[in-house]
């Protein structure tokens, strides 16, 4: 079934690129979304089964695959709208790249071998670069090359970490670098090799997770990427980076380097929060503001993993909720740019008057992403703080709360300005555009999920999250 999914996805992507017919391309892209959703259903019904030797439908991978499947339809829908005025060639390239990106992410979620995971993560870099360059501007070209270069450098560092993992086997090479085979010999490994390996893996895959110190590549990409692509980069692609780091963390958690990994993750998380808070206070570009918000959330995820105990559950719940809330905000940014013709903060204003439905998405999304009740992210952050208190990590708790206050202030005053205030710079302003309120339905649906999970988390979701860290020490 997995092989069939990959074959169909490759054929759909290639067909979308080759056929010079927009209607056919739309049908092929929608067909891929249906295939992805059916494949996800198959994953749920075959939990913990291994296929093609290198892929396993484990709980963490299936959870993130489900998030991708849910977001695939709105991403495709808003992509159709964004590319409506493009030439047929650019239209086809965009959707072929979109199918390829989602296929590569699905493969990365299910990979049970370090090398296969590394291959799929590198493949996402090429697909994203094509999508970043979609508008064919000088800035888009610069951002695309920067993304390829920095991500490739980061992936190379991650590969060095994989090489240090290989030292565990001594002279005899392992038949493969599967996580299962590692778990059988990890107790005999040198702690020094494990520490070095984890540092390389963390820094390398931070290019995808958007975590400090490799966060800059995603920030620059958001400035020029189409909003639907930004939504995927900031959610499902960041989840790929998180999963790669989390798998290595789980692998090493049974060894003596666990405290070291926790300290490194908490340090990376705090530095991410500090960077996000500092730059959000002076952000003048709306998509960059949302990108720094993603950096802040990934910092919280790193702190949650480092805190352990309830932090594990909080981290996975935060990853899921952040994906829905942040993607809805990026979709709304696409509509905002069509009405106000800009992403610059000073040129934005009176949005509630011009487009009430979009303004309500911004306000609701702001509440959700800032973890203000009734946002489900409030539950996640509360669990993180409980974990820090339980560990006696008062310094981390206090610093995190202070930095989060800056983040809340920075985002809220900007969203309020866009919604209610007059533009600071009205010179050269154009007549407002028009957007159908129907386009906001998908955004309200995603935000409704975030709010619902604040009050009720279905047993199947809680069980899947608990299974994801069942082997970790509490």
**DSSP track, 113-147:** BHHHHHHHHHHHHHHHHHHHGGG--HHHHHHHHHH
Task: Domain of residue 313: give its range.
Answer: 263-474
Output 322 or 114, whichever has higher pLDDT. Answer: 322
Report the sign of the C-alpha dihedral through residues 243, 16, 218, 163, in that order. Answer: positive
pLDDT at res. 168: 66
Report the number of distinct structural domains present in the chain. 2
My answer on whether 77 and 221 are in the same domain is yes
> Of 239, 256, 273, at which residue does a domain stop?
256
My answer on whether 187 and 312 are in the same domain is no
My answer on whether 222 and 352 are in the same domain is no
My answer on whether 270 and 250 are in the same domain is no
Q: Where are the alpha helices (DSSP H) in 210-285?
A: 216-224, 227-232, 238-252, 258-280
My answer on whether 272 and 207 are in the same domain is no
Flag whether pLDDT at 465 surpasses 80.
Answer: yes
My answer on whether 104 and 220 are in the same domain is yes
My answer on whether 223 and 284 are in the same domain is no
My answer on whether 320 and 445 are in the same domain is yes
Question: DSSP assignment, residue 113?
Answer: B
Q: What SS3 class is residue 55?
A: strand
Rg (CA), the chain: 21
Strand 55-56, strand 50-51: pairing? antiparallel
My answer on whether 248 and 275 are in the same domain is no
> Are 335 and 358 contacting, i.e. CB atoms less than 8 angstroms apart?
yes
Burial 333-368 (b: 16+ CB within 10 A, else e): bbbbbbbbbbbebebbbbbbebbebbbbbbbbbbbb
Per-residue CA distances from 150 to 155, 157, 198, 220 (Å): 9, 11, 19, 11
> Are 243 and 105 contacting, i.e. CB atoms less than 8 angstroms apart?
no
Q: Bridge-partner residues for 402, per DSSP? A: none
pLDDT at res. 34: 95
Flag whether pLDDT at 425 surpasses 80.
Answer: no
The pTM assigned to this predicted structure is 0.93
Q: pLDDT above 70 covers what percent of the chain?
A: 96
Six-digit token string for 294 = 């993603």
Per-residue CA distances from 4 to 10, 51, 52, 119, 251 (Å): 10, 11, 11, 19, 30
Give the span between the Cα atoms of 33 and 27, in whole angstroms. 10
| pLDDT confidence tier of residue 370, bands split at 50, 70 and 90 | very high
> Of 211, 234, 256, at which residue does a domain stop?
256
Average pLDDT score over residue span 70-98: 92
My answer on whether 313 and 247 are in the same domain is no
My answer on whether 233 and 325 are in the same domain is no
Q: CA angle at residue 283 from 222 to 290, to 5 degrees?
A: 40
Question: Which range, of 183-187, 230-234, 244-248, 417-421, averages the lowest pLDDT?
Answer: 183-187
My answer on whether 122 and 159 are in the same domain is yes
> Are 69 and 322 contacting, i.e. CB atoms less than 8 angstroms apart?
no
Flag whether pLDDT at 400 surpasses 50.
Answer: yes
pLDDT at res. 174: 46
Closest CA to 362 of 447, 452, 450: 447
Q: Bridge-partner residues for 55, per DSSP? A: 51, 111
> Of 223, 256, 289, at which residue does a domain stop?
256
């Amino acid at each position: 079934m997995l092989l069939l999914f990959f074959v169909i996805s490759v054929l759909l992507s290639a067909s979308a690129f080759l056929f010079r017919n927009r209607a056919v391309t739309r049908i092929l892209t929608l067909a891929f979304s249906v295939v992805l959703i059916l494949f996800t259903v198959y994953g749920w019904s075959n939990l913990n089964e291994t296929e093609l030797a290198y892929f396993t439908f484990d709980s963490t991978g299936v959870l993130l695959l489900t998030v991708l499947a849910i977001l695939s339809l709105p991403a495709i829908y808003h992509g159709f709208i964004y590319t409506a005025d493009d030439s047929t060639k650019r239209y086809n390239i965009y959707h072929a790249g979109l199918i390829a990106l989602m296929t590569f992410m699905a493969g990365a979620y299910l990979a049970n071998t370090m090398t296969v995971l590394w291959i799929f993560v590198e493949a996402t870099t090429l697909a994203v670069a094509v999508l970043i360059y979609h508008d064919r501007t000088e800035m888009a070209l610069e951002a695309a090359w920067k993304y390829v270069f920095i991500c490739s450098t980061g992936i190379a560092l991650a590969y060095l970490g994989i090489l240090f993992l290989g030292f565990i086997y001594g002279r005899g090479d392992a038949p493969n670098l599967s996580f299962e085979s590692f778990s059988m010999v990890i107790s005999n490994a040198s702690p020094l090799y494990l520490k070095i390996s984890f540092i390389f893996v963390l820094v390398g895959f931070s290019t995808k997770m958007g975590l400090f110190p490799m966060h800059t590549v995603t920030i620059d990409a958001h400035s020029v990427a189409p909003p639907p692509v930004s939504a995927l980069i900031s959610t499902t692609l960041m989840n790929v980076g998180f999963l790669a780091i989390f798998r290595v963390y789980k692998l090493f958690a049974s060894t003596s380097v666990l405290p070291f990994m926790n300290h490194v993750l908490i340090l990376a998380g705090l530095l991410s929060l500090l960077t996000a808070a500092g730059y959000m206070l002076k952000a003048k570009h709306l998509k960059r503001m949302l990108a720094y918000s993603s950096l802040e959330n990934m910092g919280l995820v790193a702190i949650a993993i480092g805190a352990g105990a309830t932090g594990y559950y909080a981290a996975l719940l935060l990853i899921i909720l952040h994906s829905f809330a942040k993607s809805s905000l990026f979709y709304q940014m696409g509509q905002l740019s069509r009405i106000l013709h800009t992403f610059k903060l000073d040129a934005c204003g009176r949005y509630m008057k011009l487009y009430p439905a979009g303004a309500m998405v911004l306000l609701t999304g702001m509440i959700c992403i800032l973890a203000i009740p009734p946002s489900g992210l409030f539950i996640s952050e509360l669990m993180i703080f409980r974990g820090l208190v339980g560990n006696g990590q008062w310094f981390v708790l206090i610093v995190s709360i202070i930095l989060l206050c800056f983040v809340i202030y920075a985002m809220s005053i900007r969203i309020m300005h866009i919604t209610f205030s007059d533009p600071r710079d009205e010179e050269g302003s154009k007549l407002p555009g028009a957007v159908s309120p129907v386009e906001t339905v998908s955004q309200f649906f995603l935000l409704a999920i975030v709010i619902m999970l604040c009050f009720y988390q279905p047993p199947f979701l809680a069980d899947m999250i608990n299974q994801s860290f069942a082997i970790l020490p509490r």
